[in-house]
Amino acid sequence: MFKGSIVALVTPFSAGKVDEKSYVELIEWHIEQGTHGIVPCGTTGESATLTFEEHKRVVELCVNTVDKRIPVIAGAGSNSTAEATILTKYAADAGADAALLVSPYYNKPTQEGLYRHYMTIASSVSLPFFIYNVPGRTAMAVSPETIARLSTHENIIGVKDAVGNLSHTSNVIGLCGDDFTVLSGDDFLTFPMMAIGGKGVISVSANIVPNKISAMTDAFYAGEWDRAKELHYETQDLSSAMFIESNPIPVKTALALMGKINGELRLPLCEMSQMNNEKLQAVLRKMSLLDKPL
C-alpha cells in the first residue's frame, strides 16, 4: 500500500492563513499526475509553524479531498511523546491511512528513550505509522538496532530514511526484513535505495515534477531499470536545487515561479536570496518548467 512516489506536500499560505483552495488544487494535480501517496504536515508542509488547529485542519482537508483515491500518511511527530500521541490519534480519527512521526528533536533522547517514545505511541493508537529518521534536523539518529526492536510492533510499519547513508539503510533492511517498509527521505538517493530494497520515496521533488518521480518508481517496479536510472539522472539537478536553502524555501519558491501557489512562507523561514533564486530558475528552465525568468 505504501510504496512508490509519496509527496511531502507543501502547505500554501495566503495573508498568513492556510490557503485551502490552493491546497485542494495541489492535491488534485498530484492525483492526476500519478502520485502514489500524500504526506500532509511534514517538514515540507511547515508543520513546525502550524498551530494545533491548523495542523488538524490540514490533515482533515487532505484526507477528505483525497477521498481514499491514494494513501494519506499524516505528519504527527513531536519532541513530546504526549503531544505526538495526541496528533497520531487525531490522524486516526480524521481517516488517515498512516502517520509519519519524526524522531524527537532538540531534547536528544538516548536510543532507549527513542524506543520508549515510539512504543508508547504505537501502544496507544490503532494507526500504523512510519518512523521519520532525519538526524540532520533532529540531532539524533535512530539506530538500525533500535529500528529493528521497534519493527516488531504491528503498528510500526516502516521508516522514512533521511540519514543519507546507504550503509545505514542496508543495515535497517537487513535487520528488519522485506515486510518492513523503508522509504527514501532524500530524493537523490531514491533509485539506489530502491536497488537495495527500499519501497519508494517521501519526496520533496515530487511537488515540482510529480509525473517524473512517480514514473521513476513505476519503472523500477516494472523491471525497467534503465528507464528508472534515466529519470534518476534527469531529476538529479532538481533534487539538489530543492536544498539550495532550507526546505521548504526552494520548493515553495519553485511552485510560485510555476504559478501553482504564491510562495508565502512563515517566519523564521523567509524568501530565497536573489542569487539562489536565479540558480533555481535555471534548473527549472532546463527542465522546461519555466519559460523565462519572472
Q: Where do the domains of the chain lie?
A: 4-224
Mean pLDDT along residues 186-202:
97
Query: Which H or E run includes 207?
Result: none
Residue in 121, 111, 187, 119 with CA at minimum distance from that of residue 151: 119
**Three cell numbers at 251?**
520548493
Mean pLDDT along residues 245-258:
97
Q: What is the pTM of this model?
A: 0.95
Q: What is the DSSP letter of 72?
A: B
Q: CB-side exposure of 176: number of CA atoms within 13 Å?
A: 29
In this prediction, residue 292 has a pLDDT band, given cuts at 50, 70 and 90, of low
Mean pLDDT along residues 21-39:
98
**Three cell numbers at 212?**
517524473
Q: What is the distance between the alpha carbons of residues 9 and 7, in angstroms, rounded to a whole number? A: 5
What's the CA angle centered on 74, arms 144 and 263, to 5 degrees? 110
Per-residue pLDDT reduced to its tens digit, 152-190: 999 999 999 999 999 999 999 999 999 999 999 999 999
Task: Indicate which residues carry an active-site annotation.
Answer: 132, 160
In this prediction, residue 290 has a pLDDT band, given cuts at 50, 70 and 90, of confident
Task: Assign domain 4-224 one CATH number from 3.20.20.70, 1.10.600.10, 3.40.50.10890, 3.40.50.300.
Answer: 3.20.20.70
Per-residue pLDDT reduced to its tens digit, 69-84: 999 999 999 999 999 9
